[in-house]
Amino acid sequence: MPHDATILPTLQLNDSRKIPQLGFGVFQIPPAETAEAVATALETGYRHIDTAEMYENEREVGEALRASGLDRGEVFVTSKLSNSYHRPDDARRAFDTTLSELGFDYVDLFLIHWPLPTLYDGDFVSTWKVLEEVRSDGRARSIGVSNFEVAHLERLAAEADVVPAVNQIELHPYFQNRQVKSWGESRGIATQAWSPIAQGQVLDDPAIAGIAERAGRSPAQVVLRWQLQRGNIVFPKSTTPARIRENFELFDFDLGSSDMEAIDVLDRGEDGRNGPHPNRFDIVPS
């Protein structure tokens, strides 16, 4: 039974566009499984899909959306520039390829996936100017960044015209990334939390399990609900239909302040980070 998508909360971005606060992520979903997973997500009621050039499954995301019978305008779709294409001419071509892979004439949001400060002479500003171009010609409705640290955001603030609409960063109970989140939000940059359940690693935490038990919810639902109440945009990934549905059942309960604070104190700072540090990450697919 499809859900009523009108229950999905939206946030307003700094460019006045709206984004559903809950979406579906497709990182590490093999292309052959992507269309089915996205179809299940859309049937469940998700109206926001997060993909990337480097995930190599944009084509299947577009196919699933067309097969769903939904209008293009009903689903918010994000993609991200590959680390291979930061040089401006490459970035322009890569963006064209994203649209042709998806089979769309626009994306709702396009991001620089990683800042790569040790590559391309440390120049992500000229890359960002290409995103400004595709925003001004309407082919990306909103533009943003991912894995940008405060120093990277400061540099864009000093040298670019458009403030990113979002910064998509690793953020979960063990790594709450507070400095980057609060710096961005104080300048109107919304926070997208990637790996919102830490790829499952926080689900056995006794504090989270205890809250879940008392709330009659699953640990994943508790963590995702904490993310939403902290104002983060999330797109949990799953290829398991029951989990895809479970991760959508977040809008008929609230966590009280003591439960919220019990999750806040699980932050391990830098020790809780699972992914690479953005200052050093330099993998460029060939």
Ligand X SMILES: NC(=O)c1ccc[n+]([C@@H]2O[C@H](COP(=O)([O-])OP(=O)(O)OC[C@H]3O[C@@H](n4cnc5c(N)ncnc54)[C@H](OP(=O)(O)O)[C@@H]3O)[C@@H](O)[C@H]2O)c1
Interface positions with ligand X (CB under 6 A): 25-27, 50, 113, 146-147, 168, 194-200, 203, 218, 220, 235-240, 243, 246-247
Least separation in angstroms between residue 227's CB and ligand X is 10
Q: Which is nearer to ligand X, 117 or 196 (CB)?
A: 196
Are 175 and 272 spatial neighbours (Cβ–Cβ below 8 Å)?
yes
Least separation in angstroms between residue 84's CB and ligand X is 15
Least separation in angstroms between residue 78's CB and ligand X is 8
Q: Which is nearer to ligand X, 3 or 69 (CB)?
A: 3
Are 164 and 131 spatial neighbours (Cβ–Cβ below 8 Å)?
no
Catalytic residue status for 55: yes
Q: Which is nearer to ligand X, 137 or 272 (CB)?
A: 272
Task: Report the residue number whose CB is nearest to ligand X.
Answer: 25
- Secondary structure string (H, E, C) spanning the chain: CCCCHHHCCEEECCCCCEEECECEECCCCCHHHHHHHHHHHHHHCCCEEECCHHHCCHHHHHHHHHHHCCCHHHCEEEEEECHHHCCHHHHHHHHHHHHHHHCCCCEEEEEECCCCCCCHHHCCHHHHHHHHHHHHCCCEEEEEEECCCHHHHHHHHHHCCCCCCEEEEECECCECCHHHHHHHHHCCCEEEEECCCHHHCCCCCHHHHHHHHHHCCCHHHHHHHHHHHCCCEECCCCCCHHHHHHCCCCCCCCCCHHHHHHHHCCCCHHHHCCCCCCCCCCCCCC
Q: Which is nearer to ligand X, 156 or 198 (CB)?
A: 198
Least separation in angstroms between residue 99's CB and ligand X is 19
Name the catalytic one among 55, 85, 106, 174.
55
Least separation in angstroms between residue 281's CB and ligand X is 9
Q: Which is nearer to ligand X, 9 or 30 (CB)?
A: 30
Catalytic site residues? 55
